[in-house]
Amino acid sequence: MYLGAAAAAGPPRRDFISVTLGPEEAVGVGGYNNSKAWRRRSCWRKWKQLSRLQRSVILFLFAFLAVCGVISYTSMGEAWKSITNKSLDDQRTEQEIPRLKLANPAVLPAPQKADVSRGDYPELSLQKPPKPPHVRRGPSNLQIKAPWRDMKLKTRQDSMRAVEELVEADKVEKTEKSIISWRGAVIEPDQSTEPPSSKITELEKPSSVEAEDQKEPVPISERQLAVIEAFRHAWKGYKDFAWGHDELKPLSKSYSEWFGLGLTLIDALDTMWILGLKEEFEEARKWVANDLVFDKNVDVNLFESTIRILGGLLSTYHLSGDSLFLEKAKDIGNRLMPAFKTPSKIPYSDVNIGRGTAHPPRWTSDSTVAEVTSIQLEFRELSRLTGDEKFQKAVDEVMKHVHTLSGKNDGLVPMFINTNSGQFTHLGVYTLGARADSYYEYLLKQWIQGGKKENELLEDYMRAIEGVKKHLLQRSEPKKLTFVGELAHGHFSAKMDHLVCFLPGTLALGAHNGLAADHMKLAETLIETCYQMYAQVETGLSPEIVHFNLHAQKGHKDVEIKPADRHNLLRPETVESLFYMYRFTGDKKYQDWGWEILQNFNRYTRVPTGGYTSINNVQNPSNPEPRDKMESFFLGETLKYMFLLFSDDIDLINLDKYIFNTEAHPLPIWVPA
C-alpha cells in the first residue's frame, strides 16, 4: 500500500527513512535493465541521493544486525552441540541396556523410579504416543509362553526357570529391547532402566516376589489348574463382550458401566499375574497404557475406586515392577483427594475425578463408616511409594478421629458418620456386615502393614473383637453353629450377611501375628458356619444374607433364607477365609470346602459363551435365575483366593510380607515379619 502510494506521488521527500522507488525504476514503467552494472550504478546513485542522516541510520542498522547475527550464531552452536551430545548419550544408554541386563540377570526387573518431581498429575508422561507393540522375535521355541499352557506336569518353579532361561537366550540372541520379568510381563526399557529417585528408599521399591528360584519347587495342583480354567472362561466373556468396560453382562453378551474405568480389567490384573496368565496380562497392560484415562467427568465412589482401582494398580506395580501401574495409581490417587475437603475431614462418598469436586450422596451428608475407614492401606502405601505424605495424612486423620469418637458399643461402631460434624449417626445399630465390615478388617491390617507399631489401631481392633464376642455371637440350632448376628437398639437379630465371612480370615491373620489364641478358635468355628451357609443350601451356594435358627424346630436347618436375600453375587468372603485358614493350619478340609464351592459356581453360574453370572435364587438348582452380571470382584478376589487356597506354596504371596486389601490386592508389609 505505502509503496504504491509513494510511487503515485512522484519522488519521495528525502527526510523519510525509507527505500522507495522513483517512477523510472518502478516495475513496468520502462528503462528497466537488470544487468549487474546497471544494478550497481543504480544502487550507488541511490545511496548518494540519501541524506547523511539516512545513511548513518542505515549503517547503524546494518551494524546492529551484524552484531545480533554473531550472538545468535554462538548460542545456536551451543544448543546444537548439546543436542548432538544428548543423542550420543541416548545411544550409549540404549547400548548399555542389554549389557546391564546381562551383567545382572536378576529374576525381577530393576526397581522403577517413583518420580515425585512430576507434580500431582503425571498424565503428561502418560499422554506420550503409545509405544509400538512389543513384538516377539526369534524362533518359536524361544518365544515365551504362558507358564501353564503346555505344562501340566511341570512345576511352577520349573516353568519360571524355563521362562527365565528363554528370556535370557532371547535377550542375547535378539538383543530384545524389553525386559521380561519372571512372570513374563513386558516392561518397557525406558521405564525399567530409570535410576531410582533419590527420595525413594529401599522400602519404597516394588516388593516383587524375590529369590523364589532358591526354594524347593512347589507343584501346581489340579485344583489350581481348574481355577485357571475358570478364570480363562470368565476372561473370555469379558474380552469378547465387555473389553475395557466395567462389568460383563454374560447373558446379554454386553456390559454395564459403573465408573467407566474398565473396573473388571483393573481388578483382575494382579490375579492374572498370580495365576501366571502372561498373555492375558500383557494384553490388559496395553489397555491400561493406551486407554485407561482418569481425566473424565465422572462421579466415582471413593471407597470402591480406592479398593479396586488404586489397590489393583498398586499391587500390580508391586508384583510386576512395572512403573506404568504406579503412574496410574498416582493419577487416580490425586484425583480422589478432593473427597477429603469436608468440614470434618471425614471424606465424602463421591468424587468427580475429572472436575476435582466431591460430594455426599444426594439424600444425606453422611458417609458410610466402612467406606471412610477402608481406604487407608491404599493411600498409606501411595504415600510411601511417592514420598508425598498428603495421602497418608488424610486417611490417618480419619482413623485418629474415629478412634476418639463416642457412640461405640464395646468397640463396635455404628454404620454412618456425618461429614459436617464428624460424629456417628444412626446410633445403636451394630453389625459386622454391610457398611461396617471392613472397618474391623482394616484396623488389624493397618496395624500389620505399618509394622505393628500403631497401638491405637490394635487397641480398637482388640476392643471390637471383644464387642463381637459380647454382643453379636450366638449359636444356632440344630447344629450349634457359632454365628455373628446384629444388634439394633438392644435387640439381637440372628441375621448374618455373607459379607461377615471375611471375619474368620481376619481373626486367623491376627492370631498368626501374635494376637490372642482364642481368636484362632473363634475363626475355626466361624469358618465352619460360613461353609454351612453354602452346604445347607440347595445349590451349595450361599445367599447374600441368612437368618439362623435360634430354636430347634423339626425339619429345619440352621440356616433360613428370606426371598429377598436368596441371591448370590459370586462374592469372595468365605473363600477368602478358607484361604487364610488353610495357610495357617494346613488342614485340607478347607481346600475341600473351597473345591465344593468352585464346582458349584461352575454348575450354577457359568455361562457357556463366556463369563460367570450372579444368580437370583440359590435355592432353586433347576433354575437359579441368572442375573446377567459378573462382578469385578469375581476375578479380583474370588478366583484369586481360590487359586491361593489350592496352593501349597506359602511364598505365593507370603502372608508375612504382604497384606491383602479388602479387594484381595496384596500390598507389601512395611516391615516384613
Q: Which residues are annotated as a binding site?
A: 662
Q: What is the DSSP letter of 412?
A: B
Q: Which of 240, 283, 295, 304 is catalytic?
A: 304
Residue type, 614: S
Q: How far is the CB of 572 from ligand DMJ (least distance, A)?
A: 6
Q: Of 350, 437, 460, 486, which one is the catalytic site residue?
A: 437
Task: Looking at residues 137 to 166 of the shown chain, list those that interact with ligand DMJ (rule: CB under 6 A).
Answer: none
Smallest separation, CB 432 to ligand DMJ (Å): 12
The distance of closest approach from Cβ of residue 610 to ligand DMJ in the complex, given in angstroms and rounded to an integer, is 22
Verify whether residue 15 is a known catalytic residue.
no
CA distance 81 to 73: 12
In angstroms, the CA 309 to CA 264 distance is: 9
Q: Rounded to the nearest 5°, which phi and psi values hold at 617?
A: -140, 100
Task: Report how far residue 324's alpha carbon sits from residue 650's, in angstroms, rounded to the nearest whole number.
Answer: 28
194 is catalytic: no
Angle between helices 517-535 and 503-512 (to 10 degrees): 150
Q: Which residue is nearest to ligand DMJ (CB)?
A: 662
Distances (CA, A) of 52 to 13, 44, 58: 14, 14, 10
Residues of the binding site for Ca(2+): 662
Site map 381..420 versus ligand DMJ, x via CB under 6 A: ----------------------------------------
Selected catalytic residue, list 280, 331, 441, 573: 573
Q: How far is the CB of 308 from ligand DMJ (least distance, A)?
A: 7
Q: Is 544 a catalytic residue?
A: yes
Give dist(CA 17, CA 54) in Å, integer: 6
CB of 637 to ligand DMJ, least distance (A): 6
The end-to-end CA distance of the chain, in Å, is 85
Interacting residues with ligand DMJ between 288 and 317 (CB under 6 A) = none
Q: Contacting ligand DMJ (CB under 6 A), which of 358, 395, 662, 665?
A: 662
420-449: contacts with ligand DMJ (CB under 6 A): 438
Minimum separation from the CB atom of position 170 to ligand DMJ (A):
39
Give the integer Cα–Cα distance in Å for 526 and 503. 8
* Residue 572 engages ligand DMJ in binding (rule: CB under 6 A): yes
Identity of the residue, 251 or 434, whose beta carbon is nearer to ligand DMJ in the bound complex = 434
Distance between CA 335 and CA 326 in Å, rounded?
14
Is the separation of the CB atoms in 598 and 554 below 8 Å?
A: no
Query: CB of 338 within 8 A of CB of 390?
Result: no
Q: Which of 277, 663, 667, 668 binds ligand DMJ (CB under 6 A)?
A: 663
Cα–Cα distance list, 343 to 301, 303, 348, 355, 362 (Å): 19, 19, 10, 20, 17
**271 forms part of the interface with ligand DMJ (CB under 6 A):** no
571 binds ligand DMJ (CB under 6 A): yes
CA angle 634, 640, 643 (to 5 degrees): 125
Q: Tell me, by CB under 6 A, how many residues bind ligand DMJ.
A: 8
Asked about 437 being catalytic, the answer comes back as yes
Give the integer Cα–Cα distance in Å for 666 and 660.
4
Using CB under 6 A, pick the residue from 548, 633, 643, 660 that binds ligand DMJ. 633
Binding site for ligand DMJ (CB under 6 A): 438, 499, 571-572, 633, 637, 662-663
* Residues recognised as catalytic: 304, 437, 544, 573
